Structure 1
Amino acid sequence: MRAGLPVPPGFVVPTPAYAAFVADAGIGAEVVALARAGEPDAADRIGALFAGHPLTGPVADAVVRAYADLGGGPVAVRSSATVEDLEGASSAGQQDTYLHRTGADAVLAAVRDCWASLWTARAMAYRARAGVDPGSVSLAVVVQRMVAARSSGVLFTADPASGRRDRAAVSAAWGLGESVVGGTVSTDDLVVDTATGAVVSRTVADKAVMTVATATGTREDPVPENRRRTAVLDDAAAAELVALGVRIAGLFGSPQDVEWARDADGAFHVVQARPITALPEPTGDVPTSWPVPHPGGTYFRASIVEQLPDPLTPLFADLVDGSVSRSLGALMATAFGAPLRDGDLSFPTVNGYAYYFYRNTGLIRMLLRTPQAGRALLGRGAGELRGGVDGWRERSHPAYVAEVRAWSGRDPAGLTGAEILDGVGALLDAGTRYYTAVQSIIPLAAGSEIVFAAFYDALVRRAGDPAASTFLVGFDSRPLQAETSLYDLAHAPRDAAWDERFRAHLAAFGHTVYNLDFASPVPADDPGPLHATIRFFADGGGTDPYERQRRAAALRDELTRVTRARLDPLRRALFDRLLAAAQRTGPVREDALADVGLAWPAMRRMLRELGRRLVDDGVVADADDVFWLRHAELRGYVDGVRADHRADVDARRMVWRGQRRATPPQLLPERPWMSRLLGAVMPGREGVQTGPVVRGTGASAGQVTARARVLDGPGDFADLVPGEVLVARITTPAWTPLFAMAAAVVTDIGGPLSHGSIVAREYGIPAVLGTGSATGRIRTGQPVRVDGDAGTVTLLDEPAAAEPAVPRRWPGWVAAAVVAGLIVRRLRR
């Protein structure tokens, strides 16, 4: 009111008045005890205590005098609990409001009833969930002159749906606002630009009822037919209301939840305002179109997409494009026997998402050379595989380790800004060269499993026999070594040496990435999820990984013996050869991928050091904002340019959040025939899935029914309850500790040869990967049935039965072609 805002005159009955009332009535201790006990009838018993004690004495006298000073007449009596404005513990709307109360006796009764509403069942349950102790709460009461409202509603000065601070959300209805706040009537809903007052979007509801005043309170009446589908606020009125809200938010210094009323003359009145709690970070619009930056080419989301499920942050996007283009271009030149031309290959983004780009003319040249490359590859066969693995072990991995050690040994605080950028560039180049070297052996390693599975399904497997993957478990790998390390830590004494052992674990495994974008922390930065896994093992959760692997190996060996014994000599020879290749290469793939992130801790340390300098110079607000600057902006900074990029960072984060809510197409421009062709080998699924069944690729056999837990990233790891179904966009090697707790794994991205499938098989849990939409379709707590054989996830609380699903097996013609090729090669020798 002092600020000149249109607030109805009134007075406040402060919290000491509540304390005096319950003390004088002798009910305070009993009320708190009943609330703490949490018995089902607690609310009724507390309500009876208040109803048995009318408001009298000095507090009543003060209320009557203030009401008389207000001029009497109808008033609104509103509750205001002490926890309403606490961050994360808002109880707004949990207590009662009484409108159009006339006369001193009615006002006194309404004040007491407001106090009593502090202890309704819904209010107590809400505070219990928020962890608020009953003994710490109190309640004030606001009494205001009643506004003869022709319309009313709620104004959020920031959009609670998107979190955008530059947009306001308005709900409006005819009549008094009691039913609007309570959610019992339909409202018109508007989104308004706070800077211009322009209406961004509007929904006009069919408003069947409205709250109106009576002699003793309120009632609901039908809305006249000519107003039911008429907008409550026109554009000018909406702009006026939002401008009022912007003033209020400016006075309080934070976005506000404002209750308003508008009288018959069109004047607005503010009847209540409180901070908006749990407002999400500002989120931009979700992309609905996918324009490509360069026509005349094809854009794929494949391979590296399993490490980059989210839109890229600006700095990583700028740097990784050149790094991937250089390293992959060298690989392609080797594979196809000729160098690529400039512009044939790049790694751009579309709506923030990374894509491999191949110019169409370059694709044609590669396709023309494919037969020669394929013949050369087949001719080299197992020798090429061994050579690729040896090259990784003897050259690629040591070279990567050496580059990382060279930069890790330098203190970032002692480096110039230019040296930091040069070091980050050198390490990212080393990382992408290593990843490219890994890519050169993964197809051969994965191919050995594909060939064995196709041969086994077509020519060996009988009804009731286990899946081909059963023959490939029980082997050691780097992700499983990380698990056993955590298991050992859980069972080690917490003595002085324990911290040293944990640091050794971080040194060995702390570089595994949750996301290849270096803006995302690695376990070495945030070991919280690792501590949660250690506690899980220490409390007796999960299984002993040593024993699990021993049992898996024993089962594998027994199945191998039994299967070999029933095969004829030719099939036995082929079985032995194909199985040996698949068993030899599976762990290699996991070991190679586990070290992709070796350079990431060093890059993050250097960039965060540069970020601290940016903060000191007023360029950004937080050290981690360095990841949201463009490379050119950082180059300008190290060259002496001191621009303020805080608003740029906020805007880019907002756009990124909107992009993250989109599902990127696997292929651009979208060509249905090519999407179907690539669907079998590219992670993710095209299109929108509907109905109670979410389909993906069955990557680890078995069925389980349990409740789902949707995890967004390492910050959510502690939320996973043992025995739940883990649902995520991706699972990289850094997610491996969670597999010990999960009943099954479901992902948006991935396939039968992804990391998640391999680890799930080792843990003996079902996995359905590459659904494309699981994190959007499945809710935390939802009961689901995961069928790793059929590749389906059934949402058990949704109607309609799913049609029978057929387990995916490798087609018989693949096995026939493989066998024929092997026989021909043997005859040629």
Structure 2
Amino acid sequence: MKDNNFILWFDEIGIEDVPLVGGKNASLGEMIRELKDKGVNVPNGFAITANAYKYLLKKAGIEDDIRKILSDLDTHDVTNLRERGQKVRDLIINAEFPEDLKDAIVKAYEEMHTKLGYEKDTDVAVRSSATAEDLPDASFAGQQETYLHIRGVDSVIEACKKCFASLFTDRAISYREDKGFDHFDVYLSIAVQKMVRSDFASSGVAFSIDTESGFRDVVFITGSYGLGENVVKGAVNPDSFYVFKPTLKKGKKPIIGKKLGTKKIKMVYTDNGVKNIDTTEEERNRFCINDDDVLKLAEWACIIEDHYSKKAGSFKPMDIEWAKDGDGVSVGTGKMFIVQARPETVHSQRDVNVMKTYVLKERGRLLLKGQAVGEMIGQGEVNVIHSADDIHKFKKGQILVTDMTDPDWEPIMKIAAAIVTNKGGRTCHAAIVSRELGIPCIIGTENGTEVLRNGQKVTVSCSEG
């Protein structure tokens, strides 16, 4: 019985297994099982099931302690949230890890060599996959943790402990409260997946529709050099591409739009984990992938969207993460891979019979420009926040101005009148969450934190694109 297993290989699971392995794992399994023969490359691996998480809590006897810690939780008090989140995470990380669970994980990791043919002690990504993840109306984007370039059994076990604990990151606790999920009705599964060496190449995000208008006939792709975290978090202004789907499906090469991003940094591996380094002038002045790569990603986006739409019985636009595996010479295979696919959460839920238009009736002096997310307009008092350590200083109804956001900022993003960032593209965290929350957002302004001042009253208009 699948239900009792600690380990399930990706080729044993599909989209119907979300309660067992979470949204991310179920989708990875679905693509490996159903789309491999259609040419879609997905890195292989295995899922540590939600049953394993439940077993850990039961054997360690810590569920009642977690309930006690969360009994006076107030997610609108950032200090209260931070203290309780840290206590729960410490409790899980320090819990005694059951030997039979550890043995099962070690055995599966070693079988990545004997069963899947990867090198011994191969490098893997250890990724969280929550059972409430990737729902049609709630992305749960980035709420739990991922650990990259993990090698060796001890490192894998340590990363798994941290992943299990990350079900209770501050942002995940806050997001569940807002979406009405009980903390004990959501479980954590883990993906242990062959690492794609995009640190020697590039990575990014693709949407099977236009992110702003919801137009169905384009694929929108963003990308930058190095690991994908910078694109997802909005740490870089990425390259972007539009591909027209109807003529792509007829065998043409319809790249109808390309925009060069500044791509000032890239995330790479070091002996002490990952770090950002500056890109070269040459890298900044060329696109991070070539036209053939763009067309391949667009083709795969169409295949994935068509598959999930057919399975759902209705149109199912998709939010997809991709990575290129090295240069194919000194590192990796040089091939493109899909590392995640989940339902798009905004336009897929929109009432197509209702059209809203926002108009700015009066104009003041233009202070700043960037890329608009959505079409809404917001106004309020500027609060420049430079670090997640200062989010407790933010008040409801203010304009959040920052370098970039990540999921830790979600508790204040939901109370902002608008959001302005220096960095990021239309597929970054700030953009995705702003769309989902229905909050106006201007990304990639380059110098918003320098131009705008605390207490300044401003209007943020996304109504002009």
- Give the TM-score range, shorter chain: 0.5 to 0.7
Deviation of residue 16 (structure 1)? 0.4
Deviation of residue 692 (structure 1)? 7.9
For residues 133 and 181 of structure 1, what CA distance do their matches in structure 2 show? 27
Tell me the residue number matched to 2:256: 200
For residues 157 and 22 of structure 1, what CA distance do their matches in structure 2 show? 39
Tell me the residue number matched to 1:27: 62
TM-score normalised per structure 2: 0.61
Tell me the residue number matched to 1:258: 320
Deviation of residue 36 (structure 1)? 4.8
**Is the CA contact 2:268–2:277 (under 8 Å) kept in the aligned structure 1?**
yes
Deviation of residue 230 (structure 1)? 1.4
For residues 193 and 281 of structure 1, what CA distance do their matches in structure 2 show? 23
Deviation of residue 282 (structure 1)? 8.2
Which of 284, 297, 302 aligns to 1:246? It is 302
**Is the CA contact 2:293–2:336 (under 8 Å) kept in the aligned structure 1?**
no
Tell me the residue number matched to 1:148: 197
Aligned to 2:106, the other structure's residue is in SS state: helix
Aligned to 1:134, the other structure's residue is in SS state: coil
For residues 272 and 96 of structure 2, what CA distance do their matches in structure 1 show? 19
**Is the CA contact 2:60–2:97 (under 8 Å) kept in the aligned structure 1?**
no
- Does 2:223 match 1:167? no
| Deviations, residues 82-135 of structure 1 (Å, cap 9, x unaligned) | 111223232121111111001101111111111111111111111111111112
Q: Give the counterpart letter for 2:85 in structure 1.
A: A
Tell me the residue number matched to 1:503: none
Tell me the residue number matched to 1:180: 231
Tell me the residue number matched to 1:74: 123
| CA 1:135–1:662: 2 relative to 1, 3 Å | closer
| Deviations, residues 587-632 of structure 1 (Å, cap 9, x unaligned) | xxxxxxxxxxxxxxxxxxxxxxxxxxxxxxxxxxxxxxxxxxxxxx
Deviation of residue 9 (structure 1)? 1.4
| CA 1:799–1:163: 2 relative to 1, 3 Å | closer
Tell me the residue number matched to 1:745: none
For residues 37 and 57 of structure 1, what CA distance do their matches in structure 2 show? 34
| CA 1:29–1:194: 2 relative to 1, 3 Å | farther
Question: Aligned runs of 1:511-590 on 2, under 5 Å?
Answer: none
For residues 365 and 178 of structure 2, what CA distance do their matches in structure 1 show? 31
Aligned to 2:347, the other structure's residue is in SS state: coil
Tell me the residue number matched to 1:669: none
**Is the CA contact 2:85–2:168 (under 8 Å) kept in the aligned structure 1?**
yes
Q: Give the counterpart letter for 2:339 in structure 1.
A: V
Query: Would you tell me which structure has more helix in proportion to its own residues?
Result: 1
Tell me the residue number matched to 1:221: 277
Aligned to 1:70, the other structure's residue is in SS state: helix
For residues 280 and 322 of structure 2, what CA distance do their matches in structure 1 show? 22
Tell me the residue number matched to 1:272: 340
- Does 2:92 match 1:50? yes
Question: Aligned runs of 1:692-731 on 2, under 5 Å?
Answer: none
| CA 1:166–1:135: 2 relative to 1, 3 Å | same
For residues 174 and 105 of structure 1, what CA distance do their matches in structure 2 show? 30
Which of 88, 92, 101 aligns to 1:59? It is 101
Report the number of matched residues.
Answer: 310
- Does 2:186 match 1:137? yes
| CA 1:50–1:246: 2 relative to 1, 3 Å | same
Deviation of residue 278 (structure 1)? 2.1
Question: Aligned runs of 1:583-622 on 2, under 5 Å?
Answer: none
Q: Give the counterpart letter for 2:308 in structure 1.
A: F
- Does 2:265 match 1:209? yes
| CA 1:780–1:123: 2 relative to 1, 3 Å | closer
For residues 237 and 688 of structure 1, what CA distance do their matches in structure 2 show? 43
**Is the CA contact 1:100–1:216 (under 8 Å) kept in the aligned structure 2?**
no
TM-score normalised per structure 1: 0.35
Tell me the residue number matched to 2:24: none
Unmatched tracts of structure 2, length 5 or more: 1-31, 74-79, 114-120, 249-253, 310-315, 329-333, 367-378, 381-396, 398-437, 441-454, 460-465
| CA 1:183–1:190: 2 relative to 1, 3 Å | same
Aligned to 2:162, the other structure's residue is in SS state: helix
For residues 261 and 439 of structure 2, what CA distance do their matches in structure 1 show? 31
| CA 1:31–1:169: 2 relative to 1, 3 Å | farther
Query: Would you tell me which structure has more strand in proportion to its own residues?
Result: 2
For residues 94 and 231 of structure 2, what CA distance do their matches in structure 1 show? 31
| Deviations, residues 624-645 of structure 1 (Å, cap 9, x unaligned) | xxxxxxxxxxxxxxxxxxxxxx
| Deviations, residues 335-364 of structure 1 (Å, cap 9, x unaligned) | xxxxxxxxxxxxxxxxxxxxxxxxxxxxxx
Deviation of residue 147 (structure 1)? 1.1
For residues 214 and 281 of structure 1, what CA distance do their matches in structure 2 show? 42
For residues 33 and 110 of structure 1, what CA distance do their matches in structure 2 show? 26
For residues 210 and 337 of structure 2, what CA distance do their matches in structure 1 show? 21
| CA 1:279–1:662: 2 relative to 1, 3 Å | closer
**Is the CA contact 2:137–2:349 (under 8 Å) kept in the aligned structure 1?**
no
| Deviations, residues 682-711 of structure 1 (Å, cap 9, x unaligned) | xxxxx9632289xxxxxxxxxxxx99xxxx
| CA 1:662–1:47: 2 relative to 1, 3 Å | closer
**Is the CA contact 1:83–1:90 (under 8 Å) kept in the aligned structure 2?**
no
Tell me the residue number matched to 2:457: 798
- Does 2:181 match 1:125? no
For residues 44 and 458 of structure 2, what CA distance do their matches in structure 1 show? 53
Q: CA RMSD in A?
A: 3.0
Tell me the residue number matched to 2:51: 16
For residues 196 and 18 of structure 1, what CA distance do their matches in structure 2 show? 46
Q: Give the counterpart letter for 2:280 in structure 1.
A: P
Which of 79, 86, 104 aligns to 2:153? It is 104
Higher relative contact order (CA 8 A, sep 6+): 2
Q: Give the counterpart letter for 2:112 in structure 1.
A: L
Q: Please identify the structure whose Cα radius of gyration is greater.
A: 1
Unmatched tracts of structure 1, length 5 or more: 284-649, 664-686, 694-705, 708-723, 725-778, 782-795, 801-829
| CA 1:256–1:174: 2 relative to 1, 3 Å | same
| CA 1:68–1:281: 2 relative to 1, 3 Å | closer
**Is the CA contact 2:236–2:262 (under 8 Å) kept in the aligned structure 1?**
no
Deviation of residue 228 (structure 1)? 1.7
| CA 1:115–1:73: 2 relative to 1, 3 Å | same
**Is the CA contact 2:90–2:165 (under 8 Å) kept in the aligned structure 1?**
no
Tell me the residue number matched to 2:421: none
Aligned to 1:691, the other structure's residue is in SS state: coil
Q: Give the counterpart letter for 1:274 in structure 2.
A: R
| CA 1:280–1:36: 2 relative to 1, 3 Å | farther
For residues 439 and 299 of structure 2, what CA distance do their matches in structure 1 show? 39
